[in-house]
Amino acid sequence: MKRIKIGLKKLVNNTKKKIVRIKTEHLIKEYLKNNVLFLTFVITVVVNSTVLRFFCMHSIENYLSFKAILADATIAIIIGSFGYLFKPKNRFIYYLIFDIFLSAICMINSAYYTFYTSFASVSMLSLTQYIGDVGDAVVENVIQLKDLFYIQGPLVLFVIYYKINKKHIYKKIEVRSERKKKTTRTLAVGLVMLFIYCITLTSLDVTRFVKQWNKEYIVMRFGIYIYQANDVVTSIQPKINAMFGYENAKRSFDEYFVDRKDIGETNRYSNIFEGKNVIVIHGESMMTNAIGLSFNGVEVTPTLNKLASEGMYFSNFYSQVSVGTSSDTELTYNTSLMPTKSGTAFVSYSDRIYRATPKFLNEKGYYTFSMHANNADFWNRRAMHNSLGYQRFYAKSDYVVNPENIIGLGLSDKEFFTQSVKKLNTINKKNENWYGLLIMLSNHTPFSDVEKYGEFDVSIKETITLEDGTQEEKVYPYMEGTKLGNYFKSLHYADQALGEFIEQLKANNLLENTVFILYGDHDARLPKNDYIRLYNYDKETDDILDEDDPNYKVFDSYQYELGRKVPFIIWTKDMAGTDLNMEVPEVMGMVDVQPTLGNMFGFYNKYSLGHDIFNVRGNNIVVFPNGNWVTDKVYYNSQKGEYLSLTQEAISEEYIKSNTDYTNSLLDVSNNIIVFDLLNENKYAAE
What is the SS3 string spanning 37-104? HHHHHHHHHHHHHHHHHHHHCCCHHHHCCHHHHHHHHHHHHHHHHHHHHCCHHHHHHHHHHHHHHHHH
Give the per-residue pLDDT at 17. 57
**What phi-psi label fits residue 258: left (phi over 0), alpha (psi between -120 and 50 degrees) or beta?**
alpha
Q: What are phi and psi of 187, to 5 degrees?
A: -65, -40
Q: Check whether 138 has a pLDDT greater than 50.
A: no
d(CA 292, CA 304): 9
Q: Check whether 19 has a pLDDT greater than 60.
A: no
Under 8 Å CB-to-CB from 219, ≥6 apart: which residues?
A: 53, 56, 57, 68, 119, 227
d(CA 392, CA 423): 12
Q: What are phi and psi of 94, to 5 degrees?
A: -60, -50
Give the per-residue pLDDT at 15. 58
Find the range with the poorest average confidence among 251-260, 423-432, 617-626.
Answer: 251-260
Q: What is the band of 207 on the pLDDT scale with cuts at 50, 70, 90?
A: confident
Under 8 Å CB-to-CB from 509, ≥6 apart: which residues?
A: none
Give the per-residue pLDDT at 682. 77
- Does residue 446 have a cis peptide bond before it, meaning omega lies within 30 degrees of 0? yes
Give the tens place of pLDDT for each residue, 363-413. 999 999 999 999 998 889 999 999 999 999 999 999 999 999 999 989 999
Give the tens place of pLDDT for each residue, 627-652. 999 999 999 998 888 999 999 999 99
Q: Check whether 610 has a pLDDT greater than 70.
A: yes
Domains of the chain by residue range: 35-202, 272-609
Give the per-residue pLDDT at 116. 65
* CATH class assigned to 272-609: alpha beta
Q: Using the Cα atoms of residue 367, residue 372, residue 377 and residue 380 in order, give the sign of their dihedral.
A: negative
Say what percent of the chain tops pLDDT 70. Answer: 87
Specify the 3-state DSSP secondary structure of 610. Answer: coil
Q: How many CB atoms lie within 10 A of CB 234?
A: 19
Strands 634-637 and 642-645: antiparallel
Q: Check whether 123 has a pLDDT greater than 70.
A: no
Give the per-residue pLDDT at 26. 47
Say what percent of the chain tops pLDDT 90. Answer: 67
Terminal alpha carbon distance of the chain = 98
d(CA 617, CA 583): 12
Q: Check whether 126 has a pLDDT greater than 80.
A: no
List of E strands, 477-567? 514-520, 537-538, 543-544
